[in-house]
Chains A and B, each alone.
Chain A
Amino acid sequence: MRLDRGFWTATAVLTVLALIVIFWWVYAPITAIMPEAVDKAAQIDALYRFLAASGSALFVYVVGYIVYFCVAFRRRSSHAADAIGVQIHDSHKLEFWWTLFPFLFVVGLAIISVRIFYGIEPINMPSNSLVVEGLGHQWYYTFRYPGINGEVKQLHLPLNQQVTLHVSSYDVIHSFWVPDMRLKVDMVPGLVNTLTFTPTRTGRYNIVCTEFCGTLHGDMRSGTPNDKAYLFIDTPAQYKSWYDSQQKANANASNEIAVASSSSINLTGGDVAAGKAMFQTKCSACHAVAPFEQKIVGPGLKGVLHDPSHPNLVDGEKATPEDVAKILQNGFSGPLGVMPNQTANGISDKDIANLVAYLNSLK
């Protein structure tokens, strides 16, 4: 039995249907339903169009053939009771092609995905971007800006300015998702995860939590009462005036996680070599000599005093040798974890001076 006219007719019909769905997904008005708020959204939408078009076309063929076979090869009243089907067991030619075809499809898809992946993943940190920190709480978000004391409730970003958003959590795992950005990242306690993007469209956008975080998980989104966070993409002038107003309003706000004031330690004469030895004994269990993003428990400390993308330390204050010394002396408690204070760590004032000298030498 060979492939008959019916099969080719079905193939022709299914090909037309497949072309229609491909055409639909290529031209579907995705942005009419969901605008693309940042630069990277367009790349993800392009990948989605490719996936949806190829996936729908494949689905049309598979289901179409199933339906056609079920109709064409159904048992008819003309069949004898003991009628049997075509006794073929396999066809190496056919099997070769239908292994090769998915293989080629997967290779193509992998190439496209990897290219887009390198376009959107924050593998190389941009150096001139606005650094903002997003923090998850049960059940709301807060944000920290360089130069603004404390934490603010809304996320404002200026148009066409590259943004590096570091996120973490105070309690359980949350996530930061703006559907109109097509980007999401989990807020994991003890980890700092990063998104980089450039806002390209002004407006107000919803922020949604997609990692289950307890009782009010469904309420942890924009549009619910209790002053929930939105993402506002502002013109530079609007952003400037919002930033100034927040700076003024929070001028007297204490940093929620600020450390106690410290007596100053004499940092002169710190010994780099001794500091390095002390770092390896006391600090390296939790801190890597690596960029900020490479955490063990605390952030990586390579270039902690010289990293333009992290002008502030975890306490929200400008990175200076004095501030590092203050954290070493008082310890630190924040969303990333707990660092013991000087006494608990068993280090002297001289050790602190050496450590600061060592950290200052890392560039």
Chain B
Amino acid sequence: MAVAAVHSGGIADHIHPEPQGFIRKYVFSIDHKIIGIQYMITAGIFMLLAGALAEMIRAQLMRANGGFMTPDTFNTVFTMHGSTMVWLVIIPLLTGGFGNLVMPVQIGARDVAFPWLNMIAFWIFPVSGLMLYSSFLMGAPAAGWTEYPPMSLQGAPGTSMWCAAIFLVGVGSTMTGMNFLVTILKMRAPGMTFTRMPLFVWGQFVTAPLLMIATTALGAALAALFVQREFGVPFFDPTKGGSPLLWQHMFWFYSHPAVYIMILPAFGMISEIFPTFGRKPIFGYKMIAFSSCAIAILGFMVWAHHMFTSGMAPQLQLPFMVLTMLIAIPTGVKIFSWMATLWGGVLTFSTAMLYSVGFLALFTLGGITGVFLAAVPFDLHAHGTYFIVAHFHYVIAGGSLMGALAGLYFWFPKMTGRMLNETWGKWSFWLYFIGMNGTFLPMHWLGLWGMPRRIAVYDPQFQTWNQIESVFSLVMTAGIILTFVNVLVSMKRGKKSGHNPWDARTLEWQIPSPMPYYNFKHIPSVFATPYDFAEPLPYRGLEEELTDSPPPVPAAH
């Protein structure tokens, strides 16, 4: 395959011998597929922890005048819930997890550009997670996942550990971003032009620069907070010439793009799932791809909409308000395109499809309330209340996490060669969907009626609704646990899936399941987008992938 060698710069066609032994193969692996699964398992464990913390929050809020935890314990619990879900679950799951597992195969590569960097980036993640949880031993952080100073300056010693742990996790994210960007730019199979890439690859391609650029701002902010806490350099101390608002600007310069880091890969996932289960091309491929770019660019220009009440110059609020509202346009284009993809299809409601449709409905609600909050006058009322909690849980639990669950049910056969149980899967969807709405929908009106967020005790007039939410949160958790059980059982006992159970058309489904170490015996060439169901597959050079022909010979050293 001389062509492949030329197009891939000689990297993709250069095969190393498969590592032998458990440690090299499954622990310190440099195989993107194993690393992807490692990310998913680690993120899954942290998700169980964060879910337990979430249920502690809901248990506390069963009673208005104080539940079973002291306020200080409650404060550490919601802080760790938020920090875990953002940095140790959603971001690693969607980028390091699904990105690693699927993206290199979808572009027809044998691995990512920098496999060793990939391994290092992964191992930073569980280490920093353990560091974060070790802060419980020294007094856990308790100022919310945003850790605004001066509150975070008063925090227990564990707050410094929080800084260090999140800094490290950010280093890993930055590595992953760079790795993915180079991989997608340099290692696509011959003929895989930008307008032929699967949309999941587009999602990762747009996310990668966000990871690289935004995370560095977070690193600077965390370093400053750490230095002030440990060495007293007064970055955020107004009595010595610092400013508490400096943190908010730096933090949100990362954390607003981080919202898109958490949603763009999920956009990519459902853009794969709708065509597959609708047997119909994605509607408006280019608009979906380019609107992701528009969202990513605009995402860097709107951070101060988190700070409308904090004392910015009023005139400065207007550009941030208008730019934030503009994001509704590319987002709307995406939602309409997905709806048009459903129209006229032959829709099979597998679990992956159910989660994707659920994503579409719930993300839409989260997006609409996002436009509400962009309007400064409304934000003056809603900022810092449970309305905000409702809004971002609809985006993250209804959007990102439902996307990840859709992806799990979709790609699990590719990881293991076995199907997840579809009946349990559908139960898990309905439990999650109903529980999710029952938990977070009432928070909209609770917030508008006057219930602030991050409170261990609250006005007794809100107790009934909070109890309803707590009950539904158990339903939601049951859905999640059912998926975990499904994974554990199906891993060993699931029905054999074959290489392509969904009759999907992207490259990863054209090779055996689980995917072999080298991915492709021969690097294929690509001559169209993967979404034309009336046409034959747009690939050449895949004839031997499913046969018994010998795997490629490793290059001699």
Of all chain A residues, the one with the shortest Cβ separation from B243 is A190
Query: In the complex the two chains form, what is the Cα distance from A152 to B533 in whole Å?
Result: 74
Q: Contact between A90 and B287 (Cβ–Cβ < 8 Å)?
A: yes
The stretch of B27-35, B252-260, B334-342, B399-407 that contacts the partner chain: B334-342
- Tell me if B's interface is mostly helix, strand, loop or mixed: helix
Q: Is B481 an interface residue (CB 8 A)?
A: no
Q: B453 is contacted by which of A83, A123, A210, A216 (Cβ under 8 Å)?
A: A210
Q: Does B279 contact A (CB under 8 A)?
A: yes
CB-defined contacts of B245 to chain A, threshold 8 Å: 188, 191
- Contact mask A135-179 → B, CB, 8 Å, 1/0? 000000000000000000000000000000000000111010101
The yes or no answer to A211 lying at the interface (CB within 8 A) is yes
B452 at the interface (CB under 8 A from A): yes
A44-B377, A87-B534 given; A209·B452 CB < 8 A: yes
The docked-state distance in angstroms from the alpha carbon of A47 to that of B371 is 12
Q: Which of A110, A177, A191 contacts B322 (CB 8 A)?
A: A110
Determine the distance from Cα of A102 to Cα of B71 in the docked complex, in whole angstroms.
44
| Contact A185 B344, beta carbon cutoff 8 Å | no
B343 within 8 Å of A by Cβ? yes
B68 at the interface (CB under 8 A from A): no
Residue A103 interfacial (CB < 8 Å): yes
Residue of A nearest to B338 (CB): A66
Within 8 A of B (CB), among A110-124: 110, 113-114, 116-117, 120-123
Known: A73-B344, A99-B329. A90 touches B376 (CB 8 A): no
A190 vs B450: C-alpha distance in the bound complex, in angstroms? 27
Which of A89, A94, A193, A219 is the one whose CB lies under 8 Å from B457? A219
On chain B, the residues within 8 Å of A297 by CB distance are: 238-239, 241
Per the bound structure, the CA–CA distance linking A101 and B459 in Å amounts to 42
- Who on chain B is nearest to A94 by CB? B340
Q: A94-B340, A213-B151 are in contact. Are A179 and B450 (CB under 8 A)?
A: yes
- Would A106 and B328 count as touching, CB distance under 8 A? yes
B345 in contact with A86 (CB, 8 Å): yes
Interface residues of A in 167-225 (CB under 8 A from B): 171-173, 175, 177, 179, 182-186, 188-191, 193, 206, 208-219, 221, 223-224
Chain A CB within 8 A of B347 CB? yes
Segment touching A, from B200-208, B214-222, B361-369: B361-369
- In this complex, the interface size class of chain A, counting residues with CB under 8 Å from chain B, is 35 or more
Query: A59-B365, A62-B364, A98-B333 are contacts. A216–B151 as well, Cβ < 8 Å?
Result: no
A58 to B459, CA, bound (A): 33
Which of B283, B346, B372 sits near A83, CB closer than 8 Å?
B346
Asked if B317 is at the interface of the complex by the 8 Å CB criterion, the answer is: yes
Task: Judge if B429 is at the interface, Cβ distance under 8 Å.
Answer: no
Q: B368 contacts A58, CB within 8 Å? A: yes
Give, as a whole number of angstroms, the nearest-CB distance from A338 to chain B: 5
Q: Inside 8 A of A208's CB, which chain B residues have their CB?
A: 450, 452
Name the interface residues of A211-250: CB closer than 8 Å to any CB of B: 211-219, 221, 223-224
Question: Once the chains are docked, how many angstroms separate the CA of A213 from the CA of B456?
Answer: 12
Which residues of A are found within 8 Å of B315, using beta-carbon distances? 123
Cα(A101)–Cα(B336), bound, Å = 11
Is A70 in the interface zone, CB < 8 Å from B? yes
Q: Which residues of A contact B381 (CB under 8 A)?
A: 44, 48, 179, 182-184
Are B154 and A172 in contact, with the CB atoms below 8 A? yes
Specify which chain A residues have a CB less than 8 angstroms from the CB of B540 in the assembled complex.
none
- Docked complex Cα distance between A361 and B478 (Å): 71
CB distance from B509 to the nearest CB of A (A): 16
Sort chain B's interface into a size bin: 35 or more
Is B424 an interface residue when CB atoms closer than 8 A count as contact? no
In contact, B154 and A214 (Cβ under 8 angstroms): yes
Assess whether B21 is interfacial by the CB under 8 Å rule. Answer: no
**Closest A residue by C-beta to B340:** A94
B285 within 8 A of A: yes
Contacting residues, chain A, for B150 (C-beta < 8 A) = 171-173, 189
CB of A33 closer than 8 Å to a CB of B = yes
A337 to B243, CA, bound (A): 11
If A186-B310, A215-B75 touch, does A85 touch B364 (CB 8 Å cutoff)?
no
Find chain A residues with CB under 8 A from B144 CB: 212
| In contact, A218 and B456 (Cβ under 8 angstroms) | yes
CB-CB under 8 A from B309, the residues of chain A are 175, 184-186
Contacts of B279 in A (CB 8 A): 83-85
- Is there contact, CB below 8 Å, between A66 and B450? no
A259 within 8 A of B: no
Is B454 part of the contact surface with A, judged by Cβ < 8 Å? yes
CA distance A79 to B348 in the complex (A): 11
Q: Give the nearest-CB partner of B155 in chain A.
A: A214
Let me know if A34 is at the binding interface, CB within 8 A: yes
Residue among A83, A95, A179 making CB contact with B449, cutoff 8 Å: A179
Report the bound CA distance from A175 to B380 in whole Å: 11
Asked if B321 and A98 sit within 8 Å, CB to CB, the answer is no
Q: In the complex, what residues of A have CB within 8 A of residue B504's CB?
A: none
B532 at the interface (CB under 8 A from A): yes
Expressed in whole angstroms, the Cα–Cα distance for A85 and B283 within the complex equals 12
Query: CB within 8 Å of A: which of B350-391?
Result: 357, 360-361, 364-365, 368-369, 371-372, 375-378, 380-381, 383-385
**Contact of A86 with B311 in the complex, beta carbons under 8 Å:** no
A95 to chain B minimum Cβ distance, whole angstroms, is 6
Given A43-B377, A191-B311, 10 additional A-B pairs, CB 8 A: A47-B378, A62-B335, A62-B339, A70-B342, A86-B343, A113-B376, A172-B150, A189-B150, A210-B383, A218-B458
Would you mind naming 18 contact pairs between A and B with Cβ atoms under 8 Å apart? Answer: A34-B448, A44-B380, A47-B375, A51-B375, A63-B361, A69-B342, A73-B278, A73-B342, A73-B343, A73-B347, A75-B347, A101-B332, A110-B321, A117-B376, A173-B148, A190-B243, A215-B75, A337-B238
List residues of A whose CB falls within 8 A of some B CB.
Answer: 1, 33-34, 43-44, 47-48, 51-52, 55, 58-59, 62-63, 65-66, 69-70, 73-75, 79, 83-91, 94-95, 98-99, 101-103, 105-106, 109-110, 113-114, 116-117, 120-123, 171-173, 175, 177, 179, 182-186, 188-191, 193, 206, 208-219, 221, 223-224, 285-286, 297, 336-338
Identify the 9 closest CB pairs spanning chains A and B, nearest first: A190-B238, A85-B280, A210-B384, A218-B455, A86-B344, A85-B345, A179-B450, A102-B332, A69-B342
A-binding residues in B (CB < 8 A) = 71-72, 75, 142-144, 148, 150-151, 154, 238-239, 241, 243-245, 278-281, 283-287, 309-311, 314-315, 317-318, 321-322, 325-326, 328-329, 332-333, 335-337, 339-340, 342-349, 357, 360-361, 364-365, 368-369, 371-372, 375-378, 380-381, 383-385, 448-450, 452-459, 531-534
